[in-house]
Chains A and B, each alone.
Chain A
Amino acid sequence: MVVAAGLYFVIRHHGAPGGVSSSEHSLAPNFSLLDITGQRVELSSYRGKVVLLDFWATWCDPCRDEIPHFIELQDKYREPGLQVIGVSMDDGPEPVREFSRRFKMNYPVVLGNANTGELYGGVLGLPMAFLIGRDGRIRARHIGATDSAVFEQEIVNLLRSKTDSSSPESQP
């Protein structure tokens, strides 16, 4: 009882390491946010695709360094079903629009907020990226700059597992 109460306190106030709702294999929390062009983006509508969800900001050096790699990955693996989605944690949309134009970003970038961060267990450091399988479950989480070869290998593995979306536990 005491242990359970203590655990509740820790989770309630600090979040579990890795996040309460963002642990690997848990269903990726859904969100519905406007992108920088004003279009609504709903994560659940990408079910059936492999999603690379990238929390980033224009003022974050390592985040900026990763963007060209994500653009390449999106180009290379669009056909077999990869969808990169950027979640900007900037305080306003203007620098994000400018950055997206300059870097010719070829995937949607939504404007995140504190709630989005909390949905994913607290995005309290950037960059942070989640790989989501075709079944909508989180398959990997990367905190800090990550080698693009690591992302690519994980993406290829997830794209191969086409049965994810039909597994019984992934059904709504």
Chain B
Amino acid sequence: MNLPPRSGQMILMLATVTIALASAVFAYQASLIPASRLINPDELVKLLQSSKSEKPLMIQVGSHVLYTQAHIPGSEYVGPASSEVGLQSLRQRVQSLPRNKFIVLYCGCCPWGHCPNVKPADDALHAMGFTNAKVLYMADNFGANWVDKGYPVAKGE
């Protein structure tokens, strides 16, 4: 198909804009995290309760207000990974760790597909070469998928 030069440029420009917009929209979608890097709440609870299993380093990458209300005992807060400050804090926390360290990231601020934090956090660890980092899959939020299930919870800073 022969298009006039101007039409070709226009299509290219539109395509570029569309891809850029799509990238921006999908950049933070938790649904794009591969299933192989997810861990379900019941699996994590079993791991934490088992005396034999290796215990992961658990990092909450969401809101501090939510963390203060309830978090997984022993987990650490680094700041929301949707912000550059939070991401930097995450990178600093794990920088010195062996790249095969078992790490579990979690947030639970919002329904899974809307969480702005877990995808950038997972991307950051992946880019740093971590091979055993998982993301805790919470379909609805931390309240519904963890606290209401009766799983262990800690409060405070």
> Which B residues lie within 8 Å of A89 (CB)?
63, 65-66
Contact A14:B150 (CB < 8 A) given known A124-B70, A124-B143: yes
Interface residues on A, range: 20 to 34
A117 at the interface (CB under 8 A from B): yes
Stretch at the interface among B31-39, B103-111, B121-129: B103-111
Q: Chain B residues near A60 (CB, 8 Å)?
A: 109-110, 114, 116
How many interface residues does B have (CB within 8 Å)? 27
A62–B65 CA distance with the chains assembled, in angstroms:
18
| Chain B residue nearest in CB terms to A64 | B114
- The answer to whether the Cβ of A72 comes within 8 Å of any Cβ in the partner chain is no
Residues of B within 8 A of A145 (CB): 111
The 9 listed contacts between A and B (C-beta, < 8 Å) are A13-B153, A15-B147, A89-B63, A90-B65, A91-B64, A117-B66, A126-B110, A143-B140, A143-B143
Residues of B participating in the A interface, judged by any CB pair closer than 8 Å: 63-66, 68-70, 80, 82, 108-111, 114, 116-117, 140-144, 146-148, 150, 153, 155
Q: Using a CB–CB distance below 8 Å, which chain A residues touch chain B?
A: 10, 13-15, 17, 57, 59-63, 89-91, 112-114, 117-118, 122-126, 143-145
